[in-house]
Amino acid sequence: MTKEVFTHRVREEALRLGFDGCGFSKAGRLEDEERRLEEWLNQGMHGDMKWMENHFDKRVDPTKLVPGAKSVVSVICSYHQPDFFSEHAENPDQPKISKYAMGDDYHFVMKEKLYQLFEFTKELNGGLEGRVFVDSAPVMDKAWAMRAGLGWIGKHSNLLSRDAGSWFFIGEMIIDAEFTYDHPVTDHCGTCTRCIDACPTDAITEPYVVDGSKCISYFTIELRDEIPQEYHEKLGNWIFGCDICQDVCPWNRKARPGSEERLFARPELKDKTIDYWEELNLQEYRELFRKNPVKRPKFEGFKRNIRTIAPNLKKSDQDPC
C-alpha cells in the first residue's frame, strides 16, 4: 500500500467515525511555537496555570513525549448547534456556561473515536506504536492542527476553519507511521479585529496574543483564589468559561452544524436562572455535571463564580432602562 492510499484510508475512516476533519503532519520540534511559548510564559500570561511550565521539551517536541514518533494525525470534531448558539449568545439575562461545556465531556467522546481510529490505523499498517491525546498531555494541539491544514490560528488564538469556524475540539494520534503530509492554510482573519474589540477584560493584548491571566475562562475555570474585584462586572453573566471572542467572529456565522449529538447542549443545562444556580447544592452539582467539563473548578469554584456574577444580573433586573 502506498503512503498516499494509506493516508486516504485513514482520513476516510476518521470522517466515517464522525470527525469533521483529519490532517497529517510530520512529527518534530515546533521551533517557532517554542520561542513564542517561552516568551508568553516569561511574561506571566499563564497566571496561576503553573502546569503550563512543566514538561516544556515534551510540549514543543512530540518525539520527546512519544519516543519513535514520526507523525501527528490531527482531528477536529464540531459541537456547533446554530439555533441554540444564536439564542445562547443573545440572552443577557441568564447565567452562561460556555457552549463547549453544555454537553458530555469532550475528553470521553473524542477519545472513544480516536481509539477506534488508532486501532483501524494499526490494523491497516500491520502494527504501529503511539498514543492518542485530547487536551490531556503537554501537546500543542492547535499548532499541530494548523500544520495539518485544518485551519489557521485566529487573532483570538483559537484555531479557525473556513467550514467549521472555531466551534470544535481538537485531538491527535502521535504515532510511528508515516503519511503523505498536509500543508498549513492561509490566514483569513484579514483586517478584522472584532474579537479584540469585544473582549471585556482586554485579554487579547494584540492580534494572536492572549493574556491568559486576564481571560474570563481563566477566572471561572482555572483560578483557585477569589476573582479580583476589578473584574467582577466585566465577567457579565459568565459562570463557566466565555465565548465572547468566538460569538463575534464572522467565520462562526458561516460554520456548518456539528453531527456528534453527545457534544450538544443537554436540556437540563438550558435556561437556568441565577436563583437556580445560587440554590444548587453539592449533590445536585455532582449529578448535573457528571461526565461534564464543569467539574474542573470543583463545586467551591463554581459557587464562587455564581456569587461573583450574581450582582451583575440582579443589577440588570433592577435597571429601569
Domain CATH for 71: 3.40.109
User: pLDDT band at 88, cuts 50/70/90?
Assistant: confident
**104 within 8 A of 262, measured Cβ to Cβ:** yes
Q: How far apart are CA 21 and CA 14, in angstroms?
A: 8
Distance (Å, whole) CA 235 – CA 244: 11
DSSP characters over 97-153: E-GGGSSS-HHHHHHHHHHHHHHHHHHHHT---EEEESSSSS--HHHHHHHTTS-EE
The answer to whether residues 298 and 210 belong to one domain is: yes
Give the model confidence (pLDDT) of 210-255 as tens digits: 999 999 999 999 999 999 999 999 999 999 999 999 999 999 998 9
Instruction: Please count the structural domains in the chain.
Output: 2
Q: What is the pLDDT of residues 286-318, one digit of tens each?
A: 999 999 999 999 999 999 999 999 999 976 555
13 and 111 housed in the same domain: yes
Q: Do 146 and 279 share a structural domain? A: no
Nearest by Cα to 23 from 124, 118, 174, 144: 144
pLDDT for residue 309: 97
Q: Is residue 259 part of a domain?
A: no
48 & 91 share domain: yes
Task: Please write the tens of the pLDDT for every residue from 22-57.
Answer: 999 999 999 999 899 999 989 898 988 888 888 889
189 found inside a domain: no
Confidence of residue 321 (pLDDT cuts 50, 70, 90): very low
Is residue 251 within 8 A of residue 168, CB to CB? The reply is no
Last residue of one domain, picked from the residues 175, 203, 234: 175
Cα angle at 166 between 163 and 169, to 5 degrees? Answer: 105
Cβ 145 vs Cβ 76: under 8 Å:
yes
Q: Residue 259 burial (CB < 10 Å; 0-12/13-18/19+)?
A: middle
Is 91 a residue whose pLDDT tops 90? no
- Tell whether 140 and 32 lie within a shared domain: yes
pLDDT digits (tens, 9 = 90+) for 123-141: 999 999 999 999 988 899 9
Residues 14 and 142 in one domain: yes
Burial label, 237 (beta-carbon count in 10 A; 0-12, 13-18, 19+) = middle
Give catalytic residues, as residue numbers.
135
> Structural domain of residue 213, as residue ranges?
194-250+266-316
Do 83 and 216 lie in a common domain?
no
Are 171 and 198 found together in one domain? no
**Same domain for 60 and 114?**
yes
- What is the C-alpha radius of gyration for the chain, rounded to an integer number of angstroms? 20
Residues 238 and 100: their CA atoms lie apart, in Å, by 13
- 75 and 141, same structural domain? yes
Distance CA 305, CA 286 (A): 16
Given this model, what pLDDT does residue 318 score? 55
